[in-house]
Amino acid sequence: MRALIQRVSEAAVRVDGETLGEIGAGLLVLVCAMQGDTEANATALAAKIARLRIFKDEAGKMNRALLDTGGAALVVSQFTLAADTSRGNRPGFSTAAEPVEGERLYETFATELRGQGIATAQGRFGADMKVSLVNDGPVTIWLET
């Protein structure tokens, strides 16, 4: 699985003007299941994100994890993380998991984050979503299992 995480002071996701999820301080997690990914990949990614030390400690160093801060996660599916731009100018997305499998792994990932003790809000898989955020830092990190 692939994820792009952003440390945020706030973030929200809306569909057709309705707010589906919003958080204060924490992480916006854009996530994409790739062909061949399994539940083990979703579990491993959730565990990594919950423990990734990218929040400041008392000395101002990135030394605290989401679990340490009590922050939340906003999880948004984003198949475009599978973009292949190696040929031409139009990205291809054939390496993304098929939609049914992608949705299953997206839901597994969000459930696993909750299981790590992280308050987790979500977008809607496959929807045309509007995501707003205030990136804190900015801190943006790419992860792949």
Enumerate the active-site residues: 78-80
Q: Cβ neighbours of residue 91 under 8 Å, at least 6 residues apart? A: 80, 83, 84, 85
Residue 28: name the closest of 62, 66, 79 by CA.
Answer: 66
